[in-house]
Amino acid sequence: MLYLLETTLHFPAQLLLLPLKEGLEASKKRGKRLGRPKLEKEKLSIALRMYDSKEYSIKEIVEGTGVSQGSFYRAINQPLSFSMLPLHIQEPIYS
């Protein structure tokens, strides 16, 4: 009996989600990128160099580079990670 009730309640929810899933799949096939765009590493790298120079205020850095204030503060407060470095610095030094 409980199984029948659960199935009855679950079915309309699945009917509502079906067009949504089909639409997302069609968008992906057309090459549409979904979600928030990733932060450009080059912009963040420029913002961090501006911050290190101590010539600019945080407001000037954020407005000038287009990096959001939250992303900028997160980058300042977290330890330096290898993936944040510009690509030319990521190459191995040894030969």
22 contacts 66 by C-beta, under 8 angstroms? no
Tell me the percentage of the chain whose pLDDT exceeds 70.
77
Backbone angles phi, psi at 16, to 5 degrees: -75, -35
Average pLDDT for 66-92: 73
68 contacts 61 by C-beta, under 8 angstroms? no
Span 33-59, pLDDT tens digits: 888 878 888 999 999 999 999 999 999
Residues 6+ apart with CB under 8 A from 61: 47, 50, 51, 67, 72
